[in-house]
Chain A
Amino acid sequence: MNAPTQQQDTTTPQPVLPGWFTLDVKQPQLLGTRCTACGTYYFPKLTTYCRNPDCDSESFEEVALSRTGTLWSYTSASYQPPEPYIANTPFQPFGIAAVELERERMTVLGQLATGTDLGTLKVGMPMELVLEPLDDGKLTWKWRVVGA
């Protein structure tokens, strides 16, 4: 599977981690790899040695991960994290979610979309990937309740 091509110019916000996700603002996807022998997915990308103890493959293809999943758990960052996190003053607390991807059978962390009320969340809710800027303007992936 090929990742969508990324076109950048000086007006496009820069990703916090280049190559970790597509810059498609409407349907963003995380970019991982998949072992061509045993099918195990990796995020972040792994391109060296497959970690499945029964697989000695060193061959990987880049894949875009499922952009929807179900909420596994969630929390908040109520205190300002230390560097290299970059925060505005005053610090605005944010949410963090762990989302299970069905096809990949893995759980991926990310901030919750700005404005998500933790009190409305329930484990098992459908979630989708969105792009939002961090406090320093760099784009990152975040998890948002589907339909929110």
Chain B
Amino acid sequence: MSTNREIAILGVGMHPWGKWGKNFVEYGVKAARDALADSGVNWRDVRFVSGAATIRNGYPGQVAGATFAQALGWQGAQVNTSYAACASGSQALAAARSKILSGECEVALVIGADTTPKGFLKPQPGDRPDDPDWVRFRLGITNPTYFALYARRRMEMYGDTLEDFARVKVKNAKHGFENPNARYRKLFSAEDVAASAMVADPLRLMDICATSDGAAALIVSSVDYARKIGKGNAPRVAAISTVTPSFASALVEMPDIATDSAVACEAHSFRAALPKKAYEEAGIGPEDISVAEVYDLSTALELDWIEDLQLCARGEGARLVREGATSVGGRLPVNPSGGLACFGEAVPAQALAQVCELTWQLRGQAGARQVAGARVGITANQGLFGHGSSVIVKC
């Protein structure tokens, strides 16, 4: 697609991930102020505020866009709030892009922040057999169950080993060790992973990501505006894919207890569909990608994503990590930020955090975790209820 479909990323900001005991608004304002300072844009010049909702912070969280706009000082901008599970940040970014490309505004703030309770994410209380989330927990099926089923499937189909999964953790820990915004900044060995408690065979505690508080924000604008303020070379958003799955589902997805039946319709992989749309929209292919930020809810899932992004053939993901290709310094670094392994998941902020990392990488500002010569980056994530996203950022 032509460059007039692109928007510029003028500024990015984050509140470090962690359990800081603050309100989500404080995290968000910190991220927004950092993004504003990074962009050089005055708050009053932001004419659209696009928030990603948090479902864990009452009404202010449901109207997150307005909550942040008020905290930063009402100045008459238009406002929006998006909720799309793990893809909420990307949906909020897509809303900003639409406003900008339609000419309704030139500069927008896109923002997401969350506080998250410790431990397993739990369903709402009550006796609710009509709710698939209630049903699966009633039967003892937690989130790690799904990650573990996918991981075991890889072992049986492709010959992946526990050591391969541990390599992903060791690699991401090394990346995140260099990231001031990461929650966990500690180096781990394969022995550490193997010694951690079994959660859902074959996955151990250190194969599975935690939850976290955190916030991320972007200042985005039209390409014309970026040029006008002397930032014509700012990284561009080249694609935002937020497609739904196509019936029938090929994989049993959280929180379901069964796949769709593929009797009348062929089965489709949802994860693979997300980047496919992004590539089509950006008019580029996997061969153009220099860095990827993917949703490593588990170590094994990072390998699935690498294949879904078509960065290698199906079943070849483990080989890439064994060869060191996905490490910073390798030919195709994956999760240079440290990924969810080092951040923990802060749902409405996570997709935006991925875009922040790509922005730093493409500007050459990622410090010790810098991917040399990064020109094009892609993100991927997937959440509950048919939500997921893939964003392409390029120089």
Footprint of B on A, CB under 8 Å? 16-17, 35, 38-44, 51-55, 72-79, 81-85, 94, 96, 98, 104-111, 118, 122-123, 134, 140
Contact = CB atoms under 8 A, between A and B. Distances in A.
Contact of B247 (A41, A52, A122): A52
Interface stretch (B84-92, B181-189, B197-205, B350-358): B197-205
B149 A106 contact: no
Give the secondary structure class of B's interface: loop
B140 A85 contact: yes
The residue in B127, B197, B247 that gathers the most chain A C-beta atoms within 10 A of its C-beta is B247
Given A73-B153, A75-B152, A78-B199, A106 B140 contact: no
A125 to B, nearest CB: 11
B137 interface: yes
Interface in B238-265: 246-248, 252, 257-265
Contact of B264 (A16, A39, A98, A107): A39
Interface residues of B, number: 47
B140 A94 contact: yes
B264 A96 contact: no
Contacts of B201: 74-76, 78, 118
A51 B203 CA distance: 33
Interface stretch (B116-124, B159-167, B326-334): B116-124
B80 interface: no
A41 B145 contact: no
B73 interface: no
Contacts of B247: 51-53
Interface of B: 119-120, 122-123, 125, 127, 129, 132, 134-142, 145, 148-153, 156-157, 197-203, 246-248, 252, 257-265, 267
A109 B264 contact: no
B14 to A, nearest CB: 30
A89 to B, nearest CB: 15
Contacts of A83: 122, 125, 137
B263 A39 contact: yes
29 contacts: A40-B261, A41-B261, A51-B260, A53-B247, A54-B264, A73-B153, A73-B156, A74-B152, A74-B201, A75-B148, A76-B148, A77-B140, A77-B200, A78-B198, A79-B120, A79-B199, A82-B122, A82-B137, A83-B122, A84-B123, A85-B139, A94-B140, A104-B263, A105-B248, A108-B257, A110-B257, A123-B152, A123-B157, A140-B139
A39 B129 CA distance: 25
Nearest to A79: B199
Given A54-B265, A72-B149, 11 more contacts: A17-B138, A41-B263, A78-B199, A82-B122, A83-B125, A96-B145, A105-B261, A106-B248, A106-B259, A106-B262, A107-B258
Nearest to B123: A84
A111 B139 contact: yes
Contacts of A35: 264
B258 A85 contact: no
Nearest to B157: A123
A72 to B, nearest CB: 7
Contacts of B141: 77, 81, 96, 109
A54 B264 CA distance: 9
A69 B134 CA distance: 25
A127 to B, nearest CB: 14
Given A73-B149, A83-B125, A108-B257, A52 B140 contact: no
A43 B136 CA distance: 13
A87 B138 CA distance: 10
B129 A72 contact: no
Given A55-B264, A104-B261, A81 B137 contact: yes
Contacts of B267: 105
Given A75-B145, A82-B122, A108 B258 contact: yes
Contact of A82 (B119, B132, B152): B119
